[in-house]
Structure 1
Amino acid sequence: MRPFPRALITAAVLAAPLAAFAQASPVGLWKTIDDETKQEKSLVRISEAGGVVSAKIEKLLDPTKQDAVCDKCSDERKGQRIVGMTIVRNVKQNADDKALWDGGEILDPNNGKTYKVRLKPVDGGKALEVRGYIGAPLLGRTQTWQRVE
């Protein structure tokens, strides 16, 4: 084999784990699945800026709820349209466990309540465990979102 193709093969082999690691990030477009009804609910875009992760609802999958507002919210989101609303704020990668992102909050627009949140990419980054909780992570509920892109 000539040196040039061998170098390309070596570079591809070395880059493969990096691509897999990038997919194990919560950043991207996700389809939310209700943990109780198992129904698809929305498309949520998670983005990162300066090491801080946030998420906005891009689309509600129920066509009858496209103009829904957060009537039960108690902060500045009260009365705002749910589509376009930031529902995850101030989440950072955990310093001790790089597989987790936590330290922020998640809003449930159905009841207007905010909870502490923990994000954990699973299945090679194809799914995201989203755990909202009060106090300790044991006291809460988990939804599994599916990566769209």
Structure 2
Amino acid sequence: MKKITTFALGLLLAGVSFASDMTPVGTWRSIDDKTGAAKAQIVISDKGGVLSGRIEKLLRKEADQNAVCEKCTDDRKGKPMVGLEIIRGAKKADGKDVWEDGKILDPESGKNYTLRLTPKDGGSKLDVRGSVLGIGRTQTWVRVK
């Protein structure tokens, strides 16, 4: 009986671990959808069911770690890229492993897009879709372990 209980507990804990990976919360490496190169490391956090994400590190070889968001048009204008909040307000959709209703900033253009985050491959990848009026593009980010 003890072996069965231990086995069941192990399965339960494995399930909890797996479920926690099916969330955008964590550290991600953004990948340029045109070149396939790593662009930045982003940390997504959850505060009361609302997600936000900040650039933790710029990864391109030529990136200036002291750069500021010159093209931003809101409260982020002139703020350092490292530490810049690029994801705001995403919430989990009812009954789905999808987070939406937020915004994502492209700091290179200064534009904000409607956001949808969808964990894939057991939470090891994240489809990040930015769009305006339903037209947009999707990048796949990779979880940093």
- Equivalent residues in 2 for 1:105-116, closer than 5 Å: 105-116=103-114
Which residue pairs with 2:68 in the alignment? 69
Q: CA RMSD in A?
A: 1.2
- What is the aligned residue count? 144
Structure 1: gaps spanning 5 or more residues: none
- Equivalent residues in 2 for 1:138-149, closer than 5 Å: 139-149=135-145
Which residue pairs with 2:81 in the alignment? 82
> Residue 68 of structure 2 aligns to a residue in which SS?
coil
Q: CA deviation at 1:6?
A: 2.5
> Residue 27 of structure 2 aligns to a residue in which SS?
strand
Q: CA deviation at 1:10?
A: 1.3
Which residue pairs with 2:24 in the alignment? 26
Counterpart residue type for residue 54 of structure 1: S
Report which of the two structures shows the higher radius of gyration computed on alpha carbons: 1
- Give the whole-Å Cα distance in 1 for the aligned partners of 2:54 and 2:142: 15
- Equivalent residues in 2 for 1:109-124, closer than 5 Å: 109-124=107-122
- Give the whole-Å Cα distance in 1 for the aligned partners of 2:25 and 2:116: 14
TM-score, scaled to structure 1 = 0.92
- Give the whole-Å Cα distance in 2 for the aligned partners of 1:98 and 1:22: 14
Runs of 4+ in 1 over 6 A off after TM superposition: none
Structure 2: gaps spanning 5 or more residues: none
Return the match for 1:10 from 3, 8, 20: 8
- Give the whole-Å Cα distance in 1 for the aligned partners of 2:60 and 2:139: 18
Which residue pairs with 2:47 in the alignment? 49
TM-score, scaled to structure 2 = 0.94
The percent identity for this pair of structures is 45
1:22-60: per-residue Cα shift (whole Å, max 9, x none)? 111100000000111211011000000100011000000
Which residue pairs with 1:91 in the alignment? 90
- Give the whole-Å Cα distance in 2 for the aligned partners of 1:57 and 1:8: 41
